[in-house]
Structure 1
Amino acid sequence: MTDGARGRGAPGRPRDPGIDEAVLEVAAEQLVAGGLPALRMDALAEQVGVAKTTLYRRWPTRAHLLVAILARGQHEIGTPSTGDVRADLVTFTTRLAAALDPPLVRQLAAQLAAAVAEDPDLAAPVRELWADRRRQIGGIVEAGVERGQLRADVPVTTIVDQLAGALYYHVLVTGEPLGEAYAATLVDTVLRGALAG
């Protein structure tokens, strides 16, 4: 299908989410099949049936496309709200760990970290992706404070950084497996001293 046939040819028309989804789906398949070397913008445009300009309007560089693919794989994590701050943090951390654990995602995260260091223009979308996860964790912690499960003076930002930082450290540095047992131990360790009473 051509770029124009998908309704993206004329300036000013609303962005077609169908194109985004099709491109990200094919790009993810290429990464699974051949790793990062297989992800080429010209080949991707040809396979999806759109003009290369369509891709570059959405993702100025391959690194921006990697951000979108990584975000796509994590968008359904959700924010649990059972009324138990520990249970919610363990659930969320377990889900996030599962989303980050696949080898391809680890590879993408490492590539993005390197790309941000070299391309200041890429810093904003990458940091927004991580900031979204930090906001979700922060919301769970703040809810625990409001319910009186955590101390009123608990350093929310510090707790968020300890949880998220440990996960990304594992992904980017150690390569060790992530899982529910690790998530539960991490949450219990971080919350020690923060629990009310």
Structure 2
Amino acid sequence: MPVSRSLPPSPAARSDPASERSRGGRSRDTSRDDVLRRAALDLVMEIGYDRMTMDAVAARAGAGKATVYRRWSNKAELVGDALAQQHIDGEVPDTGSLRGDLAALGGYLFSGQDPVDKARLITGMASALLVDTELRRAFETLTPPTERAVATVVDRAVARGEIAAPADPALLAAILPALGLHRLIFTGGGPDPDYAAAVIENVLLPALLASAVSASPPPESSAP
């Protein structure tokens, strides 16, 4: 029976054992990390990344400024980490087939999301990403949760022999979140499970299956 596997964290989300220790060799308390991450994203949605400060995050979370800086050196690192941590504790559906995995994934990733919040978060960072080098650097090591989940599903399908390894797996993994973002910006509609299912069935799955067909050897021609 197929077993669900945990969604792998992006490189930015993996903890460094050395950084987890405070002076004197004792591990620091990580219980407040999620509260601080949530406070940072809430502030980005409310006032935008440019106006968000580490002081404001500390105040929103009811923590000291030093507590925030012990975890992240600047707000770009904090916001990048907060985004990287989204969904990493979830499980990527494993139904035993590429079509089944992708169908289940659409419902898993987009159920219960508020498209208004998503739009506010994206617009709160959009202008800063164009000019803020620290924020851009933080995003260079961030693989969005949706892309990581699609990549996991594709890797499984390749391992099962359903499809050939795509020539550009990162491009295919970006299709679902990219079209979801396009819909969000231009229509205000969130990437809900129904929309995700349509993208998967009409765009992503055909692209993946086409890569399998193109990788197959041509049939041998019969001798005259």
Q: What TM-score do the two structures reach when normalised by structure 1?
A: 0.71
Question: Could you give the per-residue CA deviations for residues 66-96 of structure 1, whole angstroms, max 9, x where no partner exists?
Answer: 4344444433443111111112112223333
Counterpart position of 2:178: 165
How do residues 106-185 of structure 1 correspond to structure 2 at under 5 angstroms?
106-150=119-163, 152=164, 154-155=166-167, 156-185=169-198
Question: Could you give the per-residue CA deviations for residues 33-60 of structure 1, whole angstroms, max 9, x where no partner exists?
Answer: x923796543542454533132234344
Counterpart position of 2:47: 36
Q: CA separation of 1:130/1:172 partners in 2, compared to 1, >3 Å: closer, same or farther?
A: farther
**Structure 2 residue identity aligned to 1:177:** G
1:162 & 1:192 partners in 2: Cα distance? 12
Are the counterparts in 1 of residues 93 and 104 from structure 2 also a CA contact under 8 Å?
A: yes
Rg (Cα) greater in structure: 2
Does the alignment pair 1:75 with 2:99? Answer: no
**Structure 2 residue identity aligned to 1:159:** L
Identify the range of structure 1 (104-113 vs 55-64) with the bigger mean alpha-carbon deviation: 55-64
Uncovered stretches (5+) of structure 2, i.e. residues with no partner: 1-20, 214-224
1:22 & 1:98 partners in 2: Cα distance? 22
2:207 & 2:183 partners in 1: Cα distance? 24
Q: Work out which of the residue numbers 186, 191, 196 in structure 1 matches 2:205.
A: 191
1:112 & 1:17 partners in 2: Cα distance? 26
Identify the range of structure 1 (41-50 vs 158-167) with the bigger mean alpha-carbon deviation: 41-50
RMSD: 3.5
1:10 & 1:153 partners in 2: Cα distance? 46
Does the alignment pair 1:21 with 2:34? Answer: yes
Counterpart position of 2:17: none
Counterpart position of 1:51: 64
Q: What TM-score do the two structures reach when normalised by structure 2?
A: 0.64
1:147 & 1:74 partners in 2: Cα distance? 25
Larger relative contact order (CA 8 Å, sep ≥ 6): 2
2:121 & 2:149 partners in 1: Cα distance? 22
Counterpart position of 1:93: 106
Q: How many percent of aligned residue pairs carry the same amino acid?
A: 29
The alpha carbon displacement at 1:187 in A equals 0.8
